[in-house]
Structure 1
Amino acid sequence: MTRTPRQTGDTGRGIGRRGLLLAGIQLGVVTTLALKLRSMQVEHAEEYRMLADGNSIKIRLLVPARGLIHDRNGIVIAGNEQNYRVTLTREEAGGDVEPVLRRLARLIPISDARMAELLDEFSRRSAITPIVLADRLTWEQFSSIAVNAPALAGVTPESGLSRVYPRGGDMAHVLGYVGPVSDYDLSKIENPDPVLMLPEFQLGKVGFEARMEEHLRGKAGQRRVEVNSAGREMRQLSRQEGEQGATVQMTLDARLQNYAAQRMGSESAAAVVIDCQTGDIVTICSSPSFDPNKFVRGISSPDYKALMNHDHRPLADKTVQGVYPPGSTFKMVTLLAGLDSGVINAGSRFYCPGYTEVGGRRFHCWRRGGHGSVDAVTSLSHSCDVYYYELAQKVGIDRIAAMARRLGLGQRHDLPMSAVAEGIAPDRAWKQARHGQAWQVGDSLNASIGQGYVLASPLQLAVMTARIASGREVRPRLVRAIDGVAHPVADFPALDVDPAFLRVARAGMDAVMNSESGTAKRSRIIREEWRMAGKTGTSQVRNITAAERARGVVSNEQLPWNRRDHALFVCYAPYEAPRYAVSVVVEHGGGGSTAAAPIARDILLFALNGGLPPLDAVPGDQRDAMEERHNAMHLFTPDAPRLSRA
Structure 2
Amino acid sequence: MRRSPKESADGARRITRRGLILGGAQLGFAGLLGLRMRYMQVEQADQFRLLAEENRINIRLIPPARGEIFDRNGMVIAENEPSYRITIVREDAGDVDQVIARLSALVELDDEDLNRALIEMKRSAPFLPITVADRVTWEDISRVAVNAPALPGVTPEVGLSRRYPLGVDFAHIAGYVGPVSDYDLSRIEDPDQLLRIPRFQIGKVGLEAKLEENLRGKAGAKRVEVNAVGRIMRELDRREGQAGANLQLTIDHALQNYVQARLGQDSAAAVVIDCEHGDVVAIASSPSFDPNLFVRGISVPDYKALTENPYRPLANKSVQGLYPPGSTFKMVTAMAALEEGVVTPEDTVYCPGYVEVANRRFHCWKRAGHGHVDLQTSLRESCDVYYYDLALRVGIDKISAMAQRLGIGERFDIPMSAVARGRAPTKEWKKQTYDQDWVIGDTVNASIGQGYVLASPLQLAVMAARLATGRAVTPRLIRSIEGVEQPSGRGESLGLNENLLRQVRRAMFAVSNNRRGTAYGSRILNDAFRMAGKTGTSQVRNITAAERARGVTRNEDLPWNRRDHALFVDFAPFDTPKYAVSVVIEHGGGGSSAAAPVARDITLQALFGGDPPLAAYPEKDRARIKAQQERLKRERPDPGSSGRGRA
TM-score normalised by structure 2 residue count = 0.94
Distance of 1:581 and 1:641 partners within structure 2 = 28
1:143, distance to aligned residue in structure 2 (A): 2.2
Indicate if the aligned counterparts of 1:274 and 1:282 stay in contact, CA closer than 8 A.
yes
> Residue 266 of structure 1 aligns to a residue in which SS?
coil
1:363 deviates by 0.4
CA contact (8 A) 2:471 2:490 kept: no
Check 1:14–1:627 CA distance in 2 against 1; reply closer, same or farther (3 A cut): farther
Structure 1 equivalent of residue 273 of structure 2? 274
Report the alpha carbon displacement of residue 330 of structure 1 after superposing the two structures with TM: 0.5
Contact 1:354-1:364 at 8 Å conserved across structures: yes
* 1:251 match: 250
Deviation at 1:483, TM superposition (A): 2.0
> Where does residue 470 of structure 1 map in the other structure?
469
1:641, 1:276 → 2: CA distance?
Answer: 29
Tell me the alpha carbon deviations over residues 139-186 of structure 1, each in whole angstroms, 9 at most, x when there is no partner: 222222222222112111111111100011101001100111112212
Q: What is the Cα deviation at residue 110 of structure 1?
A: 2.8
Q: Which residue is 1:563 aligned to? A: 562
Q: How does 1:174-189 map to 2 (within 5 A)?
A: 174-189=173-188
Instruction: Report if the CA contact (8 A) 1:168-1:642 is conserved.
Output: no
> 1:58 offset after TM fit, Å?
2.0
Q: Tell me which residue corresponds to 1:454.
A: 453
Name the counterpart of 2:621: 622
Aligned residue in 2 for 1:110: 109
Maintained 8 Å contact 2:216/2:244: yes
Rounded Cα–Cα distance in structure 2 between residues aligned with 1:635 and 1:451: 36
**Residue aligning to 2:641:** 640
Distance 2:412 2:32 in 1: 66
Matched ranges for 1:230-249 at <5 A: 230-249=229-248
Q: Hey, what does 2:92 align to over in structure 1?
A: 92
Tell me which stretches of 4 or more aligned residues in structure 1 moved more than 6 Å: 3-6, 11-29
CA contact (8 A) 2:62 2:221 kept: yes
2:505 counterpart of 1:502: no
3-state secondary structure, aligned to 1:91: helix
How far is 1:24 from its partner?
10
> 1:247-280: per-residue Cα shift (whole Å, max 9, x none)?
2110000000000000000100000000000000
After TM superposition, give the deviation of residue 14 of structure 1 in Å: 14
Q: Distance between the aligned counterparts of 2:365 and 2:423, measured in 1?
A: 24
Residue 134 of structure 2: aligned partner: 135
Contact conserved, 2:77 with 2:643, CA < 8 A, in 1? no
For each residue in 1:529-549, what CA deviation from the matched residue of structure 2 results, as whole angstroms up to 9, or x when unmatched?
001000001111100011110
Structure-2 change in CA distance of 1:25 and 1:523 (3 Å): farther
In structure 2, what residue type is equivalent to 1:435? Answer: Y
Distance in 1 (alpha carbons) for counterparts of 2:168 and 2:150? 43
CA RMSD of aligned residues (A): 2.5
Measure, in 2, the Cα distance between the counterparts of 1:280 and 1:585: 20
CA–CA distance in 2 between the matches of 1:631 and 1:487?
38
Pairing 1:106-505 to 2, within 5 Å after superposition = 106-199=105-198, 201-490=200-489, 492-505=491-504
Instruction: Give distance in 1, aligned partners of 2:363 and 2:141.
Output: 70
Q: How far 1:57 sits from its partner (Å)? A: 2.5
Counterpart of 1:99 in 2: which secondary structure?
helix
CA shift for structure 1 position 636? 4.5
Give 3-state SS (helix, strand or coil) of 1:452's partner: coil
Separation in 1 of the partners of 2:638 and 2:319?
27
Q: Supply the distance in 1 between the matched residues of 2:83 and 2:152 (Cα, whole angstroms).
A: 22
The alpha-carbon distance between structure 1 residues 145 and 551, as it changes in their structure 2 partners (threshold 3 A), is same
Please name the residue that 2:41 is paired with: 41
Q: CA deviation at 1:612?
A: 1.2
The 8 Å contact of residues 319 and 458 in structure 1, kept in 2 or not, is answered as: yes
Residue 470 and residue 97 in structure 1: after superposition, are their counterparts in 2 closer, same or farther (change >3 A)?
same
Q: 1:28 to 1:109 in 2, by over 3 A?
A: same
Compute the displacement of 1:284 (Å).
0.6
Q: Deviations over 1:374-412 (max 9, x none)?
A: 111111111111001111010000000000110011011
The 1:54/1:384 distance shift into structure 2, 3 A limit, reads same
Deviating more after overlay: 408-417 vs 120-129: 120-129
CA distance in 1 between counterparts of 2:27 and 2:138 reads: 62
Q: Matches of 2:423 and 2:104 in 1, distance apart?
A: 56
Using a 3 Å threshold, how does the CA distance of structure 1 residues 181 and 43 change in structure 2: closer, same or farther? farther
- 8 A contact 1:526–1:618 mirrored in 2: yes
Return the alpha-carbon distance in structure 2 between the equivalents of residues 457 and 31 of structure 1: 83
Separation of aligned partners in 2, 1:310 and 1:227: 52
Counterpart of 1:402 in 2: which secondary structure?
helix
TM-score, normalization: structure 1?
Answer: 0.94
Which secondary structure does the structure 2 equivalent of 1:377 belong to?
Answer: helix
Q: Does the 8 Å CA contact 2:64/2:216 hold for their aligned counterparts?
A: yes
Amino acid at match of 1:546: A
Gaps (5+ residues) in structure 2? none
Amino acid at match of 1:60: R
